Structure 1
Amino acid sequence: MARMVQTVGLAVGGRPGSRLLRQLGAAVERTTVLSRVKALPIPATPRVRVLGVDEFAIRRGRTYATLLCDVETRRPVDLLPERTADSLVAWLAAHPGVEIICRDRSSVYSEGAKRGAPSATQVADRWHLLQNLTAAVEKTAHAHRACLRKAAEPLAAPGADQEPDAPGGSPIEDGLPPSDPPGNQLLARTRQRHADVLELLDQGHTMAATARILGLDPRTVKRFATEDLENMLASARDRRPAKIDPFKPLLQARFHSGCHNANQLFREIAERGYPGSHQSVRRYVATLRSGTADLEERRVVPSPRQITGWIMRSPSSLSEDEQQRLKQVMESCPDLSIARELAGDFHAILRRRSGQADLADWSQQVLEHGSRPLQGFAAFLQNDWDAVVAGLSLPWNSGVVEGHVTRVKLIKRRCFGRASFGLLRTLVLAQPP
C-alpha cells in the first residue's frame, strides 16, 4: 500500500493522487500522499563527466533555480535553489570529475563553470547561437526596409486587366513607395505614442512610471524610447495586406466608370475570388465617395520576420513562391544578400562541426563585409570564443537539459505552483523520466 501511494503521488501529485486512490479503494488524504512522496530517498548523485546546466523559473520574472543533468545518461542529477555562479561553484567542488559543461550563453553559468571546474571544456549551445544569429539577421532586415519598399511590386487585382481604363482617372505610378493613407489610425497612434513617451521621459519619469501613466506595457515603452520613429512607422505600413487590397484597383476602375453600387461591386469581385465580407466593400466604396480613399496600389513588402525565416531556413524547405520572393529581396538589397551568404556559411559550419577550422575565418568575413547587427553578433562571439568553438566542433549540446526543463514546468503546473522547492526536487529526481 505504501509503494502504491508513493507511485501515485509521484505520478500525479497530492490532491489528484488522493482522488485517484479513492477510486482504487484506498481512502488516503493528500497530506499523507505528500508525506509518503517526501519520504522517498533521493538517488545518490553519480559521477558526471558531461554536465548540462540550465535555469528554470520558480516564479517567472522573480525567482529562478538551476537544473543539472547528466548529458550522457540523459537524466537529471540535481536541482539548485538559486541561479548564481556561487551555487554552481559549490556543486562542482562537491562533485569533482566534470570534464565537459554544456550551457547557454548566460554569463552566470560561464563564470561558475570557470571557477568551479577550470579544467573542464565549456560548450555553448548551438540552438542559442542560431537564435542570436537569427536576431541579427532580423535587425538587418529591419534596417533595410526602405530599399525593400522601393523594389516591392504592387498587388495585382485578379481580373483587373479585363476592365477598361477608367476615363479621366489618373494612372497609378510605379517605382515609389505609397504615401500614408488619409486617416490611418495605426500610423497616427504610433506617432502620438512616440511623442507621449519621449515627453514623459524628458520630464524625468522612469520607464516604469511612463508605462503606468500611459497604460502601456513597459516593454512597449522601452521600444518607443529606443527605436527610431521612422522604423516603427515603416513597420506599421508593412502590416499584412487586407483581403480587399488586391481588388482595390478593380473597384476604383469600376467606381470611376460609373458603378457606385456597393452590392454590385461586391458581386463582381466575389466572382473573381474575393474571400472577404460585404462590409469591407461597403466601407471602401464609402471612402471612394468621400474622396478619402488611398488611390495608390498597396505594395507587397515582406516583413523582416518573413525575410529572416526565408534566409535561416534550408532552401529545400522553401516553396517556389518563397524562393522567388527571396530572390527579389536579394536583388533589391545587397546587404541582405551578404547576410544570407554569411548565415548559410554559419549553418554549414554548424552541420560539419568545423568550428575549430572555419569559425575564425567566418568571423573575420563578417567583421569586414557584414551589416552592423551581424558585426555585433560576431563581436559578441569573441567574448565567449572557446565555448562557441567547442559548441560548433563537439557533438555535445544542451538539448537534453532543455527537455528536462520542460518536464520540470509540467511538474510545477501539476502542483499548481504550491509545492516547496524540496518537494519539487524530490518529484524531479526520485521519479524516472
Structure 2
Amino acid sequence: MSISKLLFNNTRIFKVISLVNELDKIRISLVSKSKQSTCPKCELPSSKSHSYYIRKIVDLPIFGKQTLIKLKARKFYCSTLECPLKIFTERFKSIFSSYQRRSDRLTKKLLNLVILTGGRPSEKICAEFSVTVSDTSLLRIIAKQELPTTAHVTHLGVDDWAIRKRERYGSILIDLNTNKPIGLLKDREENTFSNWLTQNKQIQLISRDRFINYQRASTQGAPQALQVADRWHLLKNLGETVRKILDREYVVIQKMREKNTMTVQPENKRRKTKTSNHQLQRFTQVKELLAQSKSHREISKLLHMSRVTVKKYELYDKLPAIHCQSSTGIEKHLEYIESRIIQQPTILLKTLHSELKNRGYRGAYNTLSDSLKRFQISIGKAARNKVILPSNLVFWRPSRTMILFVTKKERINKVQRQILDQFCELSPTLRITLELVREFRYMIFEQKCSDSFHTWIDKLNLSGIPEFQSFSKGLLKDTNAIRNAIDLPWSNGPVEGNVNKLKTLKRQMYGRCSIDLLEKRLVLSPD
C-alpha cells in the first residue's frame, strides 16, 4: 500500500513527494494528482494552470510526533467569461478546507475534545499528544460552529435552569423524541419562550412543569400543541401541600409525643439540637408582632423572612428544636433483627453481628451494641423483643414525615408504617391526607387514566382541609395538561437529566462562560 492511500484512506487524490522524519515532527510534501479543478463560483472545471503556492497544514499526529503537511496548491484560470472569479485555487473538500491551517479530521477531533473538556483542559491534553494549539483557538473552533436546525422537532420538553442561583434563570429546550438538547433561552420569561414557539410552528406536544410563564407561553405561542404537565412535579407539588398540613398538625404530633401515644424512649443526652439564640429571638419577634395584629406580609417585610416561616411560627407555641441523629446503618436491618430475636430469644450479640455483616451491615461490634440500646432492643430477653421507635428519629420532622406520605406504599418498611398508622389514629386530618395522596399516586402511576381526576378533585374540596382546597384550585387552572400527564407517556425526565448535564458543564467552566458557548457545548456534544 502506498503512503498516500495510508494517509488518506485509500483515496488517490494526492501524491506524496517527500516524507522527512525529524526529532519531533514528520513533514510530508503533497501535490494533487488532478489535472483540473472546479471553479467555486460558476462550478465549471478548468485545466489552465496559473501558478501555485505552498499551504502548510497541521494534521493528526503520527507515532507521537506532530504531523506537518506541505501542500502544493495550484491556481487556475476560470474559462467562463461571465464568472466574476478570474483566478481560483483548487479546493480539497472534506480533507483540507479553504483558508484553514488544520486538516478537517484534526479540527473535528479538536472540536469534540473541547466540547467535552473545555478550553484549558483540552490545551493540556493536546500538548500530551503532540498537537500545539491554544485554549482560545480551541474555543474559536466552537464559536465557528452553527447550531443544528430545530425544524424537525415535534415533541418539546422545557424547564428552567439557574444561570446564577436566585438571581437569574434561563430555559433549556429538549427534543423528547431523541432526548437531546436543542437550545438554551437566556431567560424564562413568557415572551421569550412564546416567540421561540411562534418561530417553530411544527411543535405538536410540550412537556413542562407547572411554572405559570411556560403555561401561558405554550398557550399563546403554540395553541396547536398538546401540553403535558410533568408527573414528578405534580407529586412534588402535592408533597409541598402535605408539608403545609403537617406543619399545621405539628401541635397534634407534639401532643402525641407528650401523651406517649407512641412508645418512645427518654431523650438521649447526646442528642444535638440546632435551635440557636438567633432563631429563638426571631421566633419571639414574630409572636410579638402577631400579638399586635400585624399581617403576615408586614411581618415578612419587617423581619426580612419568608411568609411561609411566619405562618409556621404562628402555629407553634414554642420553637421546635431540630434534632440531628446520625445514621449508623442499622435502620434498614431492624425488621431482620426483630425476626431473629423472635426466632431465637437467646441469640448472642456476636452471632447477630456476624449475620448482619453478611447482609451488608458495615458497623463495628460496639456500634451495633450502642444502636440496639438506642432502639431499646434487648438481646437475650424475649419480653423486650419489640422494636421501639425512639423520639429523636428523623421521621418526626415534618419534612421527613412528608416523604412517608408521598412514598409508594410497598416501599415503606414496618417501622415507617407504624409511624403513619399512629399518626392517622391520632389525627383525622392526616388520615384523610394519606388516603387522598395514595389515591393520587395510584391514579397517575398505576391506573394511568384520568377518568377519575375530577372525582378526586371533588374529594379534595369536600375534605375540609384548606390546603387541599387551595391545591385543587391550582390544578383546575391546568386541567388539560394534568389529564394529558396521566394519560400520555411523555414526561420531563429527559429534561431534568439534561439540566444536570448543563450544570456540570457550567461548573466545569467555573460559571464564567457565555450563554452562547454553553449552548454550543451542550447541543453539539458528541453521542
Q: Deviations over 1:328-384 (max 9, x none)?
A: 111111111111110111011102454530100000011101522122211210121
Give the Cα separation in 2 of the matches to 1:129 and 1:321. Answer: 27
Matched, 1:136 2:241: yes
Per the alignment, in what secondary structure is the counterpart of residue 510 of structure 2? coil
Partner in structure 2 of residue 25 of structure 1: 130
Aligned mates of 2:370, 2:150 — CA distance in 1: 65
In structure 2, which of residues 391, 396, 403 is the aligned counterpart of residue 309 of structure 1?
Answer: 403
For residue 405 of structure 1, what is the aligned residue in structure 2? 499
Tell me the distance in 1 between the aligned counterparts of 2:143 and 2:367: 69
- The answer to whether 1:233 aligns with 2:321 is no
In structure 2, what is the equivalent of residue 9 of structure 1? 114
Equivalent position of 2:284 in the other structure: 195
- Judge conservation of contact 1:194–1:229 (CA < 8 Å) in 2: no
What TM-score do the two structures reach when normalised by structure 2?
A: 0.61
Q: How does 1:74-89 map to 2 (within 5 A)?
A: 74-89=179-194
Q: Choose 400-409 or 366-375, whichever is displaced more.
A: 366-375
Partner residue in 1 for 2:454: 360
**Is structure 2 residue 512 aligned with structure 1 residue 427?**
no
| 1:226 shift after superposition | 3.7
Kindly indicate whether residue 445 of structure 2 is the aligned counterpart of residue 351 of structure 1: yes
Between 69-78 and 120-129, report the one with greater CA deviation: 69-78
Say whether the 8 Å CA contact 1:41–1:430 is kept in structure 2. Answer: no
- Write 1 or 2 for the structure with the bigger share of helix: 1
- CA apart distance, 1:421: 1.4
What is aligned with 1:266? Answer: none
Deviation, 1:40, is 2.1
- Equivalent residue for 1:169? none
Is residue 71 of structure 1 aligned with residue 176 of structure 2? yes
Q: 1: CA distance between counterparts of 2:117 and 2:368?
A: 56
CA distance in 1, matches of 2:431, 2:371: 35
Residues 2-32 of structure 1: CA deviation (Å, up to 9, x unaligned): 2222121111010111111111111211111
Q: Secondary structure at the match of 1:321?
A: helix
How far apart, CA to CA, are the structure 2 residues paired with 1:189 and 1:421? 40
The alpha carbon displacement at 1:101 in A equals 0.7
Q: What CA deviation, in whole Å up to 9, does each residue of 1:98-132 have, x standing for no partner? A: 11111111111111111111121111111110001
Q: 1:120 maps to which residue?
A: 225
Distance 1:109 1:143 in 2: 31
Task: Give structure 2 stretches of 5+ with no counterpart.
Answer: 1-105, 268-272, 328-365, 373-389
- Superposed CA deviations along residues 152-188 of structure 1, whole A, max 9, x for unmatched, are 335347xxxxxxxxxxxxxxxxxxxx9xxxxx99487
**Residue 104 of structure 1 is aligned with which of 209, 222, 233?**
209
1:94 equivalent in structure 2:
199
Between 1 and 2, higher relative CO (CA 8 Å, sep ≥ 6) is seen in 1
The 1:199/1:26 distance shift into structure 2, 3 A limit, reads: farther
Instruction: Indicate conservation of the 8 Å contact 2:112/2:526, yes or no.
Output: no
Conserved 8 A contact 1:197-1:224: no
Q: Identify the match of residue 155 of structure 1 among 258, 264, 267.
A: 264
SS in 1 for 2:247: helix
TM-score by length of 1: 0.73
CA 1:195–1:424: 2 relative to 1, 3 Å: same
- What corresponds to 1:342 in structure 2? 436
**Structure 2 residue aligned with 1:214:** none
Find the structure with the greater CA-based Rg.
Answer: 2
Distance (Å, rounded) in 1 between the aligned partners of 2:161 and 2:300 = 27
Aligned to 2:23: none
Amino acid at match of 1:427: R
In the alignment, the residues of structure 1 paired with residue 209 and residue 247 of structure 2 have an alpha-carbon distance, to the nearest angstrom, of 26
C-alpha contact (below 8 Å) 1:56/1:64 kept by paired residues? yes
Provide the residue aligned with 2:341 in structure 1. Answer: none
Q: Match for 1:415 among 509, 514, 519?
A: 509
Confirm or deny that 1:376 pairs with 2:461.
no
Instruction: For residue 83 of structure 1, report the CA deviation from its aligned partner.
Output: 1.4
Partner-residue secondary structure (3-state), 2:228: strand
Q: 1:376 to 1:232 in 2, by over 3 A?
A: farther
The whole-number CA distance in structure 1 between the counterparts of 2:207 and 2:317 is: 38
Percent identity between the aligned chains? 26
Equivalent-residue separation in structure 2 for 1:205 and 1:365 (angstroms): 34
Where in structure 1 are there 5+ consecutive unaligned residues?
Answer: 158-177, 179-183, 212-217, 244-269, 277-296
CA shift in 2, pair 1:207/1:379, >3 Å? closer
1:126 & 1:99 partners in 2: Cα distance? Answer: 19
Rounded to whole Å, the distance in 2 between the matches of 1:14 and 1:241 is 45
Alignment of 1:209-224 (within 5 A): 210-211=303-304, 218-219=305-306, 222-224=307-309
SS in 2 for 1:227: helix
Q: 1:190 to 1:412 in 2, by over 3 A?
A: closer
More strand by share: 2
Residue number in structure 1 paired with 2:161: 56
Could you tell me how far apart the structure 1 residues matched to 2:108 and 2:391 are? 68
1:190-235 deviations in Å (ceiling 9; x for gaps): 4422234577999999857745xxxxxx45xx55544334427363
Contact 1:355 1:390 in 2 (8 A): no
Shift of residue 41 of structure 1? Answer: 2.8
- 1:7 maps to amino acid: N
Per-residue CA shift, 1:47-94, capped at 9, x if unaligned? 222111111122222222211111111111222222122122221121
Instruction: Please tell me whether the aligned partners of residues 8 and 17 of structure 1 are also in contact (alpha carbons under 8 angstroms).
Output: yes
Q: Equivalent of 1:37, from 115, 133, 142?
A: 142
Moved more, 222-231 or 337-346: 222-231
Residues 322 and 125 (structure 1), Cα distance of their counterparts in 2 relative to 1, 3 Å cut: same
Match of 2:484 in 1: 390
